[in-house]
Structure 1
């Protein structure tokens, strides 16, 4: 395995040549004649364990260069070579460039070698800690997802589907850290671990809950946040999950919190996917699903909803009047009923109350009313409908 690489940056070519003669055989190193070359090397993929930069350079001083390197390569240990180690220079370097050590010109060979050795040791400590954190993060997430999968496979399956949706739309909505969004979707229902088995079972089966039970379920994002926030580097994921039911107009859970664009983008996405997941069967997402979500415009970021629809929605052949001029008949459950469906059977509760009669097309208002009734009553299912094949005047 090749030794970690050190970079020396100076605008004086003679000084760089002298360093090469002094350090050849002692370290694995590279040189850059000025800040531009150093930055170009890093942007082209060069990995440096240590960077030693001169303070006085014409294009960009050492503080500015090391501050830029700290952004491009956060694990690199930065050092400065200066003939002007005054207090102001030192403060700027430490605050902006994250300086590990200063060297004064001219620098004694033994001091330079000792400093570089210490810098390489610091780099090893940083990378070892980072690897440990990443392993801890991966292990902790694995444990949480396995708990959720064992707790209720149906709910876990829906979380996996939401993660796939997040992976598909992350780039188009400009999400800065796609892994963070996907992980938030996967861990969004982890708060359900606090629910009694009977409530959990009804949730998995999409059955109606009593008001007190709904209130308990409503608070599960707080449980999820408390669990996730204990894992290193997942503080932002925990906040996204906590606000996943916060409505765009400022209502929803929690009662006090941000609204509009102040709600994290990840939470606004989960708010859409949580409701989309309740009306989508399988992986096929169609325009009619988004039409249904638009019946509650105060709940969502509507511009974001449009972006997600463009990325996810597919053409449903059952609504293609050209391909199916006479329409096609389907036996469906009520949760899959859509606007424009023609009822071939009545929609009737188990106690005999007919909500919608056969021979009619389902309107937006009727569908919304039915969704309210579904929370309170049980219906005869499946029902038979015809899709496609009717003109607008019908």
Structure 2
């Protein structure tokens, strides 16, 4: 049943709303703006969030406009309405401008009228969510295509992308971040700027094999290259910004700075993967990042846990290129018979990878059998 939060300092009003509408909606009530915010905060990461928030205007300590302005920050997806018998014009304007107010309902309001207004709010809620879901699926599909193209052009960069994505995905779930799809997109595209840098330069820098200062400077540009490519795509502006900051030493974001958290998670994950390229153990990486950088210690520890967790690994199988299935994980580097690395250990079988291997198998040749597992390998980072 759809969840509605009703805030009013008059208990009889709340009792009347529950009595008349409880059979249609799941009604929760609060006697003040502060109590309403506490309820929304407890439900911030709920899988069954409040769809509609209704507030009285004239309440002590915090009026309806002030409450809904704060409520919009905590529950940005909820549709907000005012139900009030008295309100001055400036407060009403503030409610509309500061909290994206959907409707102002005048008291007294009949149960039928209130239910009709809530039904309209729910249609708005469903419309916004449907558009967002379509947008996110479209963007997610585009991100996957770009990521798979990277696997064809630069298997090493794609391997780092895969490892970064696994760390970010695990950390985002553990930290209960809300911008998960954008963070996943940032992880998948974090290395795309490397297509502009010669692979041998990338290898020397990432393995510490005596790169020149010019090569180090060239490598350092890849996050900005990715930003400049992605910033042109509508709705990817935030993803582009996060990627541009992946090499930062952290800004120690505050508890309520979720975007800062996301940037920190991406930056820490990419540093763990880069350190692993130079054979640094994850625990040593964590000590270094905690001691010399401004990354949040809880973010570092969460990524460390993701990097060192055993993960899941199904029975190892040895297959030919023809028998590979989507989602399988390579347990070793896959080489062409000429010695060229086609896929790195830890990468996942995708459509693009299957096509690449099939084409090499039909021409140059691929070293078979190929060892794979159905699940995520241990030590993926």
TM range (shorter): 0.5 to 0.7
Q: Is the 8 A contact 1:12 1:33 kept in 2?
A: no
Q: Could you tell me which residue of structure 2 aligns to residue 48 of structure 1?
A: 50
Q: Could you tell me which residue of structure 1 aligns to residue 74 of structure 2?
A: 72
Deviation at 1:101, TM superposition (A): 0.8
2-structure distance, mates of 1:31, 1:267? 37
Q: Could you tell me which residue of structure 1 aligns to residue 369 of structure 2?
A: none
Q: 222, 242, 254: which is aligned to 1:220?
A: 222
List runs of 5+ in structure 2 lacking aligned partners. Answer: 251-259, 308-381
Q: Could you tell me which residue of structure 1 aligns to residue 191 of structure 2?
A: 189
2-structure distance, mates of 1:117, 1:173? 34
Q: Is the 8 A contact 1:140 1:231 kept in 2?
A: no
1-structure distance, mates of 2:78, 2:249? 42
- TM normalised by structure 2 equals 0.57
1-structure distance, mates of 2:119, 2:59? 25
2-structure distance, mates of 1:285, 1:135? 34
Q: Could you tell me which residue of structure 2 aligns to residue 276 of structure 1?
A: 275
Give the number of equivalent residue pairs: 286
- TM normalised by structure 1 equals 0.56
List runs of 5+ in structure 1 lacking aligned partners. Answer: 249-260, 295-299, 315-394
2-structure distance, mates of 1:48, 1:309? 32
Shift in CA distance, 193/177, structure 1 to aligned 2, threshold 3 Å: same
Q: Could you tell me which residue of structure 2 aligns to residue 302 of structure 1?
A: 292
Do structure 1's residue 16 and structure 2's residue 14 form an aligned pair? Answer: yes
Tell me the C-alpha RMSD between the 2 structures.
4.6
Q: 86, 93, 96: which is aligned to 2:95?
A: 93
Name which one, 1 or 2, has greater alpha-carbon Rg: 1
- Cα displacement string for residues 284-322 of structure 1 (whole angstroms, at most 9, x for unaligned residues): 4464x799x99xxxxx982348965998599xxxxxxxx
1-structure distance, mates of 2:127, 2:71? 19
Deviation at 1:59, TM superposition (A): 5.3
Shift in CA distance, 177/277, structure 1 to aligned 2, threshold 3 Å: farther
1-structure distance, mates of 2:241, 2:36? 38
2-structure distance, mates of 1:129, 1:214? 43
Q: Is the 8 A contact 2:168 2:265 kept in 1?
A: no
| Higher RCO structure (Cα 8 Å, ≥6 apart) | 2
Alignment of 1:100-115 (within 5 A): 100-107=102-109, 111-115=113-117
Q: Could you tell me which residue of structure 2 aligns to residue 6 of structure 1?
A: 4
Shift in CA distance, 285/61, structure 1 to aligned 2, threshold 3 Å: closer
Q: Is the 8 A contact 2:174 2:302 kept in 1?
A: no
Q: Is the 8 A contact 1:137 1:231 kept in 2?
A: no
1-structure distance, mates of 2:186, 2:25? 41
2-structure distance, mates of 1:74, 1:173? 19
Deviation at 1:190, TM superposition (A): 0.4
Q: Could you tell me which residue of structure 2 aligns to residue 150 of structure 1?
A: 152
1-structure distance, mates of 2:168, 2:141? 22
Shift in CA distance, 90/277, structure 1 to aligned 2, threshold 3 Å: same
1-structure distance, mates of 2:61, 2:165? 46
Shift in CA distance, 267/47, structure 1 to aligned 2, threshold 3 Å: closer
2-structure distance, mates of 1:147, 1:202? 20
Shift in CA distance, 6/305, structure 1 to aligned 2, threshold 3 Å: closer
1-structure distance, mates of 2:245, 2:106? 52
- Cα displacement string for residues 215-252 of structure 1 (whole angstroms, at most 9, x for unaligned residues): 7655433331133335565433322322445789xxxx
2-structure distance, mates of 1:312, 1:110? 55
Shift in CA distance, 152/110, structure 1 to aligned 2, threshold 3 Å: same
2-structure distance, mates of 1:290, 1:6? 44
Q: Secondary structure at the match of 1:188?
A: coil
